[in-house]
């Protein structure tokens, strides 16, 4: 006969069993497990863990409501992009062919996992019929062989245009950014004069005044996106849409000639910038302009209110080939090995209706940009302050005469992802900063691109 | 008796009953069987978490980018032709060899200094010097990163106080290389120190007394008594450290992520960038497997030396 083992412990004593329970509970904390009726099965979804904590709470509430209404048990996990943990999770699930039903795919991951994603044209058609088309970057990243493999979402989707100090740019460089891009609908003539040459002259003036533009030349996303916008504005493609290496072109040479001037007025340590360096430069009051979503402004609002009150987001400068605004969309896709594809698609569609998108956008002070143009009339971008309207021009608006862009577009995505993640464009600029000639930089890039095109 | 020659107590009756035991019972009673069964959990763990992933990595490294076709050694050939990967090989070797040599020298020096500190003080110093090794590496590297930070470097602040200009610690290739190696040395030296200290304490005092009687000075004692007695532990420690340093990921990933201009990438960080971030898992697997022949080569010679010396001592 066996006697059940009991654990006796004095209150306050930490037993091994109690410690194990505590550890298990702690490990489960990041997982938001929402249980509802199970009549329609179970769906697990991995969301991007939002920088703004309120973003997760808003999402959780919506998912819970959808689960209760549809009698589906939903497990929502919020996975951070710190240390590329979200990409590691996607890679692990793709290898194991098991995991969540729905994943939040950062920009390039849809193509990376195209063979394992369920076509989602039906959902996309209903959404675009209702809310209008999405931009070309979304099609480029998520439409494979004519089929949508994931739906562009608002959660985590961001533009990464300039955010400048109003007073500093006016005083040191004579640039009236609020006049160029006021917080109201309508094109201004002044914005037409906002070119990369003007950008360079302003950078030079601010550099001399000890307030350099904090533009990174590292290999992380912020550096890549800014360099991508610069290259696109000059029409400089490293690889064309057919996969041909086109780095030895006059346009690439022209952008590098501009880059040769620009890098000289960037911070001395620009080559070692990561995605936090530019934020810190703005928040600490050491920089006149950065290229970033409003997260830097949001932190400044808390830590350096005087800097936040003097900051303004606006569109990218234009070049010979046009005006290109860095854009990084997130997508929601359903794995082909999902066990409840129907419910997964329903959940995605429900979360991308106007009302829930607006609710989430409000919760994160306008950080998340909806993929559908018809949703750009949310009031949040007008209301956010200080100063009022500071992020009005953060999302790309039709009167900006700009195009959403991701670095390395239009190269075939399997090549572009390597150009992007290896930071080829900012590295080219970094090499100029280190004193290499344009010919040397082009030769290096050509060698790299040959490797990417295997 | 523990030598395997013991006879079961119980006399003839027991012997008769033993004769009736089935083959299965006999098999189960063998000492080797027991040993195997006791080791089985470990064997399964090693098989699941070491052998299987290793063979899976080899399998992956021989596939094309889409993982749909077998390409043999194509990925390895491709990597060897790339300028960036040649830089990675150079940097990995520079990083590992320099760091291990410095750790060994510093560890050896510290162990000697520690060995000569008497009584309780030695315990205090030993504890203090072990601190870098017991702090989780990712956390301590973050602290270093803050000190090297491009904009707010604590080191630069100190330099500024003395009138010197800022140093772009992580922004210039060779300085960044120096920084990654320095952090690795800071982290790994205590391991060498503690191993060498243990080895020093095991050197018989009589040997030093005998050499002193023969007129040996301190340097002669070091080269003719201490070092020969420590050769095995030095070899094993260097080998172990070489393996872990070659496979280092945290320090480079946190400090520089391989930059500037790929000048600090090591095999592991480059494999992560190529395999995970750029979606080319077979190429990433091929990259990470480049460590294997280098380490196997080192392990072969080091372990051969250790075995040879052990036999000499036994003889």
Question: Which tens digit of pLDDT belongs to each residue from B185-231?
Answer: 999 999 999 999 999 988 998 999 999 999 999 899 989 999 989 98
How much of chain A is in helix, strand and coil states, percent to nearest 5?
Answer: 50, 15, 35
- Is A265 within a domain? yes
pLDDT digits (tens, 9 = 90+) for B230-276: 988 999 999 989 989 998 999 999 999 888 888 999 999 999 999 98
- Is B221 within a domain? yes
The pLDDT assigned to B108 comes to 94
The pLDDT assigned to B259 comes to 81
The per-residue pLDDT of chain B, averaged, comes to 87
Residues A371 and A383 occupy one common structural domain? no
- Is A74 within a domain? yes
- Is B232 within a domain? yes
- Is B190 within a domain? yes
Residues A151 and A168 occupy one common structural domain? no
State whether residue B273 sits within 8 Å of chain A by CB: yes
- Is A368 within a domain? yes
Q: Enumerate the residues of chain A whose CB falls inside 8 A of the CB of residue B272.
A: 84
- Is B49 within a domain? no
CA dihedral B70, B71, B75, B81 (to 10 degrees): -170
Give the residue numbers spanning the domain of B121. Answer: 76-314
Q: Which of A326, A386, A378 is nearest to A356 (CA)?
A: A378
- Is A1 within a domain? no
Which residue does chain B place closest to A273, by CA atoms?
B150
> What length is written for chain A?
454
CA dihedral B109, B114, B115, B121 (to 10 degrees): 170
**Quick check: A378 and A366 in contact, CB under 8 A?**
yes
- What is d(CA B51, CA B55) in angstroms, rounded to the nearest whole number? 6
- What is d(CA A228, CA A236) in angstroms, rounded to the nearest whole number? 9
How many folded domains does chain A comprise?
2
Residues A129 and A230 occupy one common structural domain? no
User: Number of Cβ pairs closer than 8 Å across A and B?
Assistant: 90
Residue B195 belongs to a domain with what CATH number?
1.10.3720.10
pLDDT over threshold 60, residue B13: no
Q: Which of A134, A139, A186 is nearest to A397 (CA)?
A: A186
- Residue of B167, B259, B268, B284 to mutate for A, most A C-beta atoms under 10 A: B259
- Is B82 within a domain? yes
- Is B41 within a domain? no
Distances (CA, A) of A56 to A8, A76, A364, B192: 40, 10, 9, 46
Q: How many angstroms separate the CA of residue B69 from the nearest CA in chain A?
A: 14
Predicted ipTM beyond 0.90: no
Q: Enumerate the residues of chain A whose CB falls inside 8 A of the CB of residue B261.
A: 271, 427, 430-431, 434
Residues A264 and A153 occupy one common structural domain? no
Interface contact flag, B260 A272, Cβ < 8 Å: yes
Interface contact flag, A115 B66, Cβ < 8 Å: yes
Last residue of a domain, one of A358, A375, A392: A375
The pLDDT assigned to A39 comes to 55
Residue with more model confidence, A106 or B7: A106
- Is B181 within a domain? yes
Last residue of a domain, one of A375, A404, A430: A375
Q: Enumerate the residues of chain B whose CB falls inside 8 A of the CB of residue A115.
A: 66
Give the CB-side neighbour count of residue A423, counting CA atoms within 13 A. 29
How many folded domains does chain B comprise?
1
- Is A18 within a domain? no
pLDDT over threshold 90, residue B90: yes
pLDDT digits (tens, 9 = 90+) for A208-237: 999 999 999 998 899 999 999 999 999 999
Q: Enumerate the residues of chain B whose CB falls inside 8 A of the CB of residue A91.
A: 276, 281
The proportion of chain B whose per-residue pLDDT surpasses 70, expressed as a percent, equals 92
Q: Is beta strand A322-334 parallel, antiparallel or unpaired with respect to A318-319?
A: antiparallel
Residues A334 and A324 occupy one common structural domain? no
Q: How many angstroms separate the CA of residue B131 from the nearest CA in chain A?
A: 25
- Is A266 within a domain? yes
Chain-centre distance for alpha carbon B256: 22
- Eight-state DSSP code of residue A234: T
Q: How many angstroms separate the CA of residue A84 from the nearest CA in chain B?
A: 8
- Is A19 within a domain? no
Last residue of a domain, one of A375, A404, A432: A375
Residue A85 belongs to a domain with what CATH number?
3.40.190.10
Residues A303 and A256 occupy one common structural domain? yes
Phi, psi of A255 (to 5 degrees): -70, -35
Q: Which of B102, B112, B233, B105 is nearest to B180 (CA)?
A: B102
Contacts for B305 with CB less than 8 Å, ≥ 6 apart:
B231, B235
Low pLDDT (below 50) residues in chain A: 1-12, 28-30, 32-37
Residues A431 and A394 occupy one common structural domain? yes
Which residue does chain B place closest to A416, by CA atoms?
B278
Give the residue numbers spanning the domain of A334. Answer: 30-157+329-375
Interface contact flag, A267 B150, Cβ < 8 Å: yes
Residues A343 and A357 occupy one common structural domain? yes
Residues A214 and A78 occupy one common structural domain? no
The pLDDT assigned to B25 comes to 75
Burial of B19 (0-12, 13-18, 19+ CB in 10 A): exposed
Q: Enumerate the residues of chain A whose CB falls inside 8 A of the CB of residue B152.
A: 280, 284
- What is d(CA B62, CA A100) in angstroms, rounded to the nearest whole number? 28
Residues A197 and A220 occupy one common structural domain? yes
pLDDT interval class at B173 (50, 70, 90): confident
Interface contact flag, B171 A418, Cβ < 8 Å: no
- What is d(CA A103, CA A368) in angstroms, rounded to the nearest whole number? 17
- Is B61 within a domain? no
Q: pTM of the prediction? A: 0.81
- Is A243 within a domain? yes
pLDDT over threshold 70, residue B160: yes
User: E-strand spans in chain B?
Assistant: none
Distances (CA, A) of A388 to A304, B6, B43: 17, 91, 65
Residues A153 and A170 occupy one common structural domain? no
Residues A266 and A398 occupy one common structural domain? yes
């Amino acid at each position: 006969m066996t006697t059940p083992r009991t654990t006796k412990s004095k209150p306050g004593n930490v037993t091994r069993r109690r410690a194990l329970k505590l550890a298990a509970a702690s490990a489960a904390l990041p997982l938001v497990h929402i249980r509802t009726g199970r009549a329609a099965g179970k769906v697990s979804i991995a969301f991007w863990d939002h920088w703004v904590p309120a973003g997760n709470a808003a999402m959780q509430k919506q998912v819970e409501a959808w689960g209760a209404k549809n009698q589906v048990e939903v497990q929502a996990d919020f996975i951070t992009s710190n240390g590329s943990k979200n990409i590691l999770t996607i890679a692990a699930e793709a290898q194991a062919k098991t995991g969540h039903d729905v994943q939040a795919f950062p920009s390039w991951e849809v193509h990376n996992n195209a063979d394992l994603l369920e076509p989602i044209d039906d959902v996309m058609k209903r959404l675009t019929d209702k809310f209008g088309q999405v931009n070309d970057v979304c099609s480029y990243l998520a439409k494979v062989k004519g089929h949508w493999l994931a739906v562009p979402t608002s959660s985590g989707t961001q533009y990464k245009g300039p955010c400048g100090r109003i007073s500093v740019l006016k005083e040191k460089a004579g640039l009236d950014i609020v006049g160029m891009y006021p917080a109201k609908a309508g094109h201004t003539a002044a914005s037409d004069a906002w070119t990369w040459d003007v950008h360079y002259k302003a950078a030079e003036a601010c550099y001399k005044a000890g307030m350099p533009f904090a533009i990174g030349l590292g290999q992380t996303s912020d550096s890549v996106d800014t360099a991508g916008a610069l290259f696109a504005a000059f029409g400089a493609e490293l690889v064309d849409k057919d996969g041909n290496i086109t780095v030895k072109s006059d346009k690439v040479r022209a952008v590098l000639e501009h880059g040769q001037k620009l890098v000289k007025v960037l911070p001395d340590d620009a080559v070692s910038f990561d995605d936090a360096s530019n934020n810190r430069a703005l928040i600490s009051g050491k920089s006149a302009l950065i290229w970033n979503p409003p997260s830097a402004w949001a932190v400044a609002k808390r830590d350096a209110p005087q800097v936040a009150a003097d900051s303004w987001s606006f569109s990218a400068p234009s070049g010979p080939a046009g005006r290109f605004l860095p854009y990084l969309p997130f997508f929601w896709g359903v794995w082909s090995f999902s066990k409840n594809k129907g419910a997964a698609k329903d959940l995605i569609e429900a979360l991308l209706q106007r009302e829930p998108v607006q609710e989430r956008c409000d919760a994160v002070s306008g950080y998340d940009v909806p993929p559908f143009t018809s949703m750009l009339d949310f009031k949040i971008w007008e209301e956010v302050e200080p100063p009022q309207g500071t992020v009005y021009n953060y999302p790309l608006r039709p009167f900006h005469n700009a195009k959403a862009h991701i670095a390395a577009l239009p190269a075939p995505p399997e090549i572009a992802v390597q150009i992007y993640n290896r930071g080829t464009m900012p590295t080219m600029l970094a090499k100029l900063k280190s004193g290499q000639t344009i010919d040397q930089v082009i030769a290096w890039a050509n060698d790299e691109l040959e490797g990417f095109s295997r | 008796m523990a030598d395997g020659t013991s006879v079961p107590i119980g006399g003839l009756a027991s012997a008769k009953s033993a004769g009736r035991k089935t083959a299965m019972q006999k098999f189960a009673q063998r000492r080797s069987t027991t040993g195997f069964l006791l080791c089985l959990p470990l064997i399964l763990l090693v098989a699941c978490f070491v052998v299987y992933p290793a063979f899976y990595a080899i399998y992956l490294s021989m596939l094309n980018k889409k993982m749909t076709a077998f390409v043999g050694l194509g990925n390895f050939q491709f990597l060897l032709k790339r300028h960036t990967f040649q830089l990675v090989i150079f940097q990995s070797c520079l990083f590992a060899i320099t760091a291990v040599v410095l750790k060994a020298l510093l560890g050896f020096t510290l162990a000697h200094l520690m060995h000569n500190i008497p009584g309780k003080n030695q315990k205090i110093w030993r504890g203090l010097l072990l601190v870098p090794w017991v702090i989780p590496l990712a956390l301590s590297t973050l602290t270093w990163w803050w000190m090297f930070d491009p904009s707010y470097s604590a080191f630069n602040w100190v330099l500024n106080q003395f009138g010197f200009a800022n140093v772009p610690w992580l922004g210039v290739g060779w300085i960044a290389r120096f920084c990654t190696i320095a952090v690795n040395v800071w982290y790994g030296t205590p391991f060498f120190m503690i191993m060498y200290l243990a080895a020093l304490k095991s050197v018989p005092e009589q040997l030093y007394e005998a050499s002193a009687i023969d007129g040996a000075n301190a340097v002669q004692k070091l080269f003719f008594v201490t070092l020969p007695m420590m050769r095995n532990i030095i070899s094993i420690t260097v080998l172990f450290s070489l393996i872990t340093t070659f496979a280092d990921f945290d320090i480079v990933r946190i400090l520089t992520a391989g930059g500037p201009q790929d000048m600090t990438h090591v095999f592991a960080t480059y494999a992560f960038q190529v395999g995970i971030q750029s979606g080319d898992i077979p190429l990433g697997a091929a990259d990470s497997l480049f460590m294997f022949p280098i380490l196997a080569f080192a392990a072969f010679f080091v372990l051969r030396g250790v075995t040879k010396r052990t036999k000499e001592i036994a003889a």
